[in-house]
Structure 1
Amino acid sequence: MSRKKDQAGTFELLTRLPQQIVSLAKIEYENAKREIISKAKKAGIGAGAIVIALFFVFFMLEALVIAAIAALALVWPWWLAALVVAAALLVLAALAILAGVALIKRGNPVPEETLERVGDDISAISEVRINAEPPTSRPAGSQMPRVGEEGNWR
């Protein structure tokens, strides 16, 4: 039986296999690197939000100190105003902390998508079989085509 010129033979395909595996590994490495960088950026933004929250907490504590001093030194308007400012800063700090924690949780540095693709690649390689159809008239244990018989090599 003659083979079409555009179809590669078994041995040619087998010689290409190591190069293709190395190429696939390089591509998956680059994908994992890109995914980790993306998730690290999200974690950095979340850490920045927490720093901003700590900034607001610092000013809340300053406002509470001013409120305590004003409460001892003066009558209602000064310390009441300072308490209102402190409460507003506390609310801002709580919102910034919640946003920062949510961003850090979303920015998990594990490249899950790449690991899933690599798992799919491994399962696809493990499904490669020599013959697609089971042998019909061959002796038990013989998987090679006989001389002159066309085999289905996959």
Structure 2
Amino acid sequence: MSRKKDQPGTFELLSRLPQQIVTLAKAEYENAKREVVAKAKNAGIGAGAILVALFFLFFMLEALVIAAIAALALVWPWWLAALVVAAALLVLAAAAILAGIALIKRGNPVPEETLDRVGGDVAALGEVRVNAEPPTPRDATHRMPQADGEGNWR
């Protein structure tokens, strides 16, 4: 079997391997950085949107609280109406806090795609290393059969 003149030989390809591994590691590191920055940016934009919404909701709730207290004050004393509305607002605040915590936890900036690719690269390198190892010598108890009767003849 002959190879073309413009194709590199086995030793040349093997000499390029360490540099290619370093280049691959640097590329995966840059991909991981980009992925983390993108996820953190999305989480930051989401948190900003929640803050803007909370700003407007605060003033809307003030108006609704005053209206609710005024409506309930027609039936109950004003202090009881204010107490009932305050309890309802406490329940709503607790629900909003739990929802916000759940949304923030979903924005985990772990570069999952890059970790999957690196895992595949490491597995491929492990296969190359395993296939490149010389065969292990047999232990002393397992000898090849000899013509003179020694060995593992049955």
Q: TM-score, normalised by structure 1?
A: 0.57
Identity of aligned residues (%): 74
Q: Give the equivalent residue in structure 1 for 2:29.
A: 29
CA 69–126 in structure 1, closer or farther in 2 if over 3 Å, else same: closer
1:114 aligns with 2:114: yes
1:46 aligns with 2:50: no
In 1, the alpha carbon distance for the partners of 2:70 and 2:103 equals 38
Aligned partner letter, 2:127: E
Pairwise CA distance, 1:114: 0.3
Q: Give the equivalent residue in structure 2 for 1:13.
A: 13
Gaps of 5+ in 1: 77-90, 142-154
Greater Cα shift, 57-66 or 114-123 = 57-66
Q: Which aligned pairs between 1:84-123 and structure 2 lie closer than 5 A?
A: 104-123=104-123
Aligned CA RMSD, in angstroms, stands at 4.2
Q: TM-score, normalised by structure 2?
A: 0.57
Q: Deviations over 1:36-92 (max 9, x none)?
A: 1211121012201320232134214422553377459x969xxxxxxxxxxxxxx9x
Aligned partner letter, 1:33: K
Greater Cα shift, 57-66 or 106-115 = 57-66
> Secondary structure of 1:127's match?
helix
In 1, the alpha carbon distance for the partners of 2:2 and 2:58 equals 82
In 2, the alpha carbon distance for the partners of 1:15 and 1:127 equals 18
Q: Give the equivalent residue in structure 1 for 2:132.
A: 130
CA contact (8 A) 1:39 1:109 kept: yes
> Secondary structure of 2:108's match?
coil
> Secondary structure of 2:5's match?
coil
Aligned partner letter, 2:25: A
